[in-house]
Structure 1
Amino acid sequence: MFHKEGFKIITIAAIVVVLGILGADKFVDIDWLVKVIQITFLVFFILILQFFRNPKRTTLINDEHIIAPVDGKVVVIEEVEEPEYFKDKRIQVSIFMSPLNVHVTRYALSGLVKYSKYHPGKYLVAWHPKASTENERTTIVVENTVFGEVLYRQIAGAMAKRIVNYAEVGQKVTQGTDAGFIKFGSRVDLYLPLGTKINVKIGDSVKGGEQIVASK
């Protein structure tokens, strides 16, 4: 299964690959070079398919759990000042996605969307300390009956050139459902209330939509 955000790119890539394979066969006279070109086009197409895959995940909905919003590696767990919405101290948990990870963003908790804002910005590497405040990003706040307001931020990376965010203010959302997509390498930050129990550690690989990253 592939994410709907990839349908157009997959279609264009398929056309390019077919034309490339046929063109190599017709216009290149060296047999080994034809094979190299054709294999290169096929590998390119496989990478595109791999990037836009959207595997089914089974979410056990629980208001006392914060689940991973994306697949990736935990790169930050620290108490920080959140300057945009809360303007106070929160626990930041950041998950970095490589181009090989699934890039679907899922809601980490159920609740009511209180805030959703897009910010244009730079394309620093996603693990850069200033990426949270200087890169292209979207900030979303979901209010939950157990945790109160929880903020998550989709952050573009050096390769990511488009963030897709489905959250709209006033919308009721369900934990584990599709919240958006980030194209080609990126990061998601969670900002949790102080005192939240963190269930992961730096360096852990997490599975979006299923793995519990924090709890009451």
Structure 2
Amino acid sequence: MTIHKEGRTILFVSLIILVAINVVLHQFFSDQNLALNLVLLASVIIYLAILQFFRNPFLTLPSDETLVYAPADGKVVVIEETTEEEYLKDRRKQVSIFMSPINVHVNRSPISGVVEYIKYHPGKFLVAWHPKSSLENERTTIVIYNPSGLKLLVRQIAGAAARRIKWYVKEGSPMIQGAEFGFIKFGSRVDVFLPLDAEVLVKINDKTKGGSTPIARLKSPAQKH
């Protein structure tokens, strides 16, 4: 377990602020032991909450071209057939995973391949489970092309509490199944647009682990003929 690089500055600044608050209160209210202890306890809880949000567990990367792995820790909130309008322009099976503030917020590649398309969209901050959040919220769309011919679209979506999406790839970047490609700060969501012939392996409300939980099985080229 490590602390994600996105959290190091926030954790340092938070520590300084919380320590300063407690020092100042002890200077001016040294006789209020109960209140000071409650503030200290609250400070520890707040800091631990921030710390757990930025945790980055060690992961043994999967390697199975027949499976699509969850891009994030969270809960499955959408499984439906839809039309992907931005880039693929075809019918797809959409699986959406909602990340609450207590989940690990590292985003991981569902498959191996190369980034064919990436685009950041500024937008609103509707709650991440809102049906329109996929099209109206701040978001980043990434299309991964696999040599087998598969194109998979992954969309990072900011939620009501999230205000910053990070991604560490660009067009032409290699994507390794299970490896980190981005991070979303605080509550958010990730959509995956699968081929129609993919077998979805999860159900609504299932819990997922990024890079560990298979969410779909792909048909091999031989099975398609």
Counterparts of 1:74 and 1:27 in 2: how far apart (Å)? 49
Instruction: State the partner residue of 1:5.
Output: 6
**1:147 deviation in Å?**
6.0
**1:66 deviation in Å?**
0.6
Letter in 1 for 2:96: S
Letter in 2 for 1:170: G
- Structure 2 counterpart SS, 1:78: strand
Match runs of 1:166-205 below 5 Å = 166-205=168-207
Q: TM-score under structure 2 normalisation?
A: 0.94
Instruction: State the partner residue of 2:133.
Output: 131
- Structure 2 counterpart SS, 1:69: coil
Cα RMSD of the aligned pairs, angstroms, is 1.0
- State the Cα deviation string for residues 43-92 of structure 1 (Å, max 9, x = none): 11101101000001122211111101100000000000111011221000
Letter in 1 for 2:15: A
Counterparts of 1:97 and 1:57 in 2: how far apart (Å)? 18
Counterparts of 2:19 and 2:33 in 1: how far apart (Å)? 18
- Structure 2 counterpart SS, 1:122: coil
- Identify the match of residue 150 of structure 1 among 149, 152, 158: 152
Q: TM-score under structure 1 normalisation?
A: 0.97
Counterparts of 1:41 and 1:147 in 2: how far apart (Å)? 52
Match runs of 1:1-216 below 5 Å = 1-28=2-29, 29-146=31-148, 148-216=150-218
Counterparts of 1:90 and 1:80 in 2: how far apart (Å)? 5
Unaligned runs of 5+ in 2: 219-225
Counterparts of 1:19 and 1:124 in 2: how far apart (Å)? 34
